[in-house]
């Protein structure tokens, strides 16, 4: 009887063991599938985080690049037309990522009425239709804001700025200048005098920066027939800048806007003891970005950025 019982138990035990083995194997398979699924989820999460971070960095770099463009300018001379006795200068400045400020200054024979001004298609010799209306020039000056970038404006060339005698006599042109493709860099894109190195994240397009003079320690800006060099500098508040006139002609350095010089009234050579001299030293005590020009040749311009 005992022998038969033992024989009967053996198959049952074998079945139980087989079931345990199969059950354990199934558990291991299931566990492996869960681990693989978790691994895939973690990988997808990591890829999503990496993509988000890359997009954030790209957006940040794009925003920095756009902000660095603020302060870029295009400057053009407005030549006399039809023996009007009037000429001047126009400065087109990027004041925000999507806004241009157009400043028109007219000198010479004063006008008793406001003079319409526009950006026209074509050049001054082949003037076309009005592309962008500008504010009327009144008492020698006008300012207009346009929802554009300098790159967009340049892509539409040829264009010109034309000033008319009056609204009732618009067919008579008094001054005109062609808009050129050369874009002057903003202060942020210029070489910093303090370090002699480009501002990180920007591409400098400035000439070699003039150094400090041995005798005074001033920052030196050379003014010759090609303009101011360097045309854009960055200094700390309280720093003096020495402007040396090497043009062989009379010059008078002053802050914008021409001809009133109200941007930084004290920064005006004509009001100092250096009036009529070839050396003008000025100490900048106000933080900000200060555009300037030669009052006797307003197309020659520069920028001084003063930091705290």
Co-location of 268 and 249 in the same domain: yes
Tokens representing residue 137 in the block: 């020039």
pLDDT beyond 50 at 197:
no
pLDDT class for 201, splitting at 50, 70, 90?
Answer: very low
* CATH number where 258 lies: 2.60.40.420
Position 23 scores a pLDDT of 60
Provide the domain count of the chain: 2
Interatomic CA distance for residues 72 and 94, integer angstroms: 5
Please choose, from the candidates 144, 139, 150, the residue with its C-alpha nearest in 3D space to the C-alpha of residue 182.
150
Which among 138, 162, 179 is the end of a domain? Answer: 179
Helix (H, G, I), strand (E, B) or coil at 7: helix
Co-location of 151 and 242 in the same domain: no
Position 228 scores a pLDDT of 92
Q: What are the residues whose beta carbons fall under 8 Å from the beta carbon of 123, sequence distance 6 or more?
A: 158, 160, 178
Give start and end residues of each alpha helix (H) in the chain: 2-68, 150-155
Position 217 scores a pLDDT of 46
Has residue 93 been placed in a domain? yes
H or E stretch covering 64: helix 2-68
Co-location of 159 and 270 in the same domain: no
pLDDT per residue as tens digits for the range 163-196: 999 999 989 999 999 999 888 887 666 544 444 4
Co-location of 240 and 159 in the same domain: no
* CATH number where 129 lies: 2.60.40.200
Co-location of 261 and 208 in the same domain: yes
Position 160 scores a pLDDT of 97
pLDDT class for 21, splitting at 50, 70, 90?
Answer: low
Co-location of 138 and 221 in the same domain: no
pLDDT class for 121, splitting at 50, 70, 90?
Answer: very high
Co-location of 109 and 153 in the same domain: yes
Co-location of 175 and 198 in the same domain: no
Furthest-apart CA atoms within the chain: distance in Å: 138
Has residue 34 been placed in a domain? no
Burial class (CB in 10 A: 0-12, 13-18, 19+), 48: exposed
pLDDT per residue as tens digits for the range 234-260: 999 999 999 999 999 999 999 998 888
- Bridge partners for 76 per DSSP: 90
Q: Residue with structure tokens 């002699």? A: 196
Has residue 2 been placed in a domain? no
Position 16 scores a pLDDT of 65
Interatomic CA distance for residues 89 and 139, integer angstroms: 14
pLDDT class for 7, splitting at 50, 70, 90?
Answer: low
pLDDT beyond 70 at 13:
no
Has residue 62 been placed in a domain? no
Has residue 211 been placed in a domain? yes
Q: 68 near 94, Cβ under 8 Å? A: no
pLDDT class for 264, splitting at 50, 70, 90?
Answer: very high
The vertex-24 CA angle with 19 and 26, nearest 5°, equals 95
Position 29 scores a pLDDT of 57
The vertex-146 CA angle with 286 and 299, nearest 5°, equals 55
Co-location of 171 and 191 in the same domain: no
Please choose, from the candidates 237, 220, 238, the residue with its C-alpha nearest in 3D space to the C-alpha of residue 302.
220
Co-location of 139 and 239 in the same domain: no
Residue 154 lies in domain: 73-179
pLDDT per residue as tens digits for the range 47-103: 777 777 777 777 776 666 666 678 888 999 999 999 999 999 999 998 888 899 999
Burial class (CB in 10 A: 0-12, 13-18, 19+), 66: middle
pLDDT per residue as tens digits for the range 210-235: 333 333 346 899 999 889 999 899 99
Structure letter (DSSP) for residue 152: H
Helix (H, G, I), strand (E, B) or coil at 262: coil
Interatomic CA distance for residues 107 and 109, integer angstroms: 7
Number of neighbouring beta carbons within 10 Å of residue 93? 20
Which among 158, 179, 200 is the end of a domain? Answer: 179
Q: 196 near 146, Cβ under 8 Å? A: no
Structure letter (DSSP) for residue 138: B
Number of neighbouring beta carbons within 10 Å of residue 85? 13
Which among 127, 161, 179 is the end of a domain? Answer: 179
Number of neighbouring beta carbons within 10 Å of residue 131? 14
Interatomic CA distance for residues 141 and 145, integer angstroms: 14
Co-location of 199 and 264 in the same domain: yes
Please choose, from the candidates 298, 287, 233, 280, the residue with its C-alpha nearest in 3D space to the C-alpha of residue 264.
287
Position 53 scores a pLDDT of 72
Structure letter (DSSP) for residue 209: P
Mean pLDDT, rounded, of the chain: 81
Has residue 262 been placed in a domain? yes
Co-location of 162 and 241 in the same domain: no
């Amino acid at each position: 009887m005992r022998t038969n019982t033992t024989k009967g138990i053996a198959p049952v035990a074998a079945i139980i063991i087989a079931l345990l083995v199969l059950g354990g194997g199934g558990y291991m398979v299931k566990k492996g599938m869960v681990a693989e699924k978790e691994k895939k989820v973690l990988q997808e999460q990591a890829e999503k985080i990496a993509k988000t971070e890359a997009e954030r960095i790209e957006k940040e770099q794009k925003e920095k690049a756009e902000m660095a463009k603020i302060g870029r300018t295009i400057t053009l001379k407005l030549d006399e037309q039809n023996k009007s006795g009037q000429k001047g200068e126009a400065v087109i400045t990027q004041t925000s990522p999507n806004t241009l400020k157009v400043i028109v200054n007219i000198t010479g024979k004063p006008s008793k009425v406001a003079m319409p001004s526009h950006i026209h298609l074509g050049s001054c010799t082949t003037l076309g239709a009005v592309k962008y209306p500008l504010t009327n020039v009144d008492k020698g000056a006008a300012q207009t804001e346009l929802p554009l970038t300098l790159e967009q404006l340049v892509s539409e060339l040829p264009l010109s700025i034309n000033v008319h005698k009056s609204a009732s006599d618009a067919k008579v042109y008094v001054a005109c200048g062609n808009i050129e493709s050369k874009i002057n860099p903003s202060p942020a894109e210029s070489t910093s005098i303090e370090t002699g190195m480009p501002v990180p994240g920007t591409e400098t397009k400035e000439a070699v920066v003039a150094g400090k003079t041995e005798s005074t320690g001033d920052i030196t800006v050379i003014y010759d027939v090609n303009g101011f060099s360097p045309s854009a500098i960055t200094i700390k508040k309280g720093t003096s800048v020495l402007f040396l006139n090497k043009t062989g002609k009379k010059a008078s350095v002053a802050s914008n806007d021409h001809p009133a010089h109200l941007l930084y009234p004290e920064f005006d050579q004509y009001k100092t003891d250096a009036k009529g001299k070839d050396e003008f030293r000025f100490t900048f005590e106000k933080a900000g970005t200060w555009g300037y020009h030669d009052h006797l040749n307003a197309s020659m311009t520069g920028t001084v950025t003063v930091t705290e």
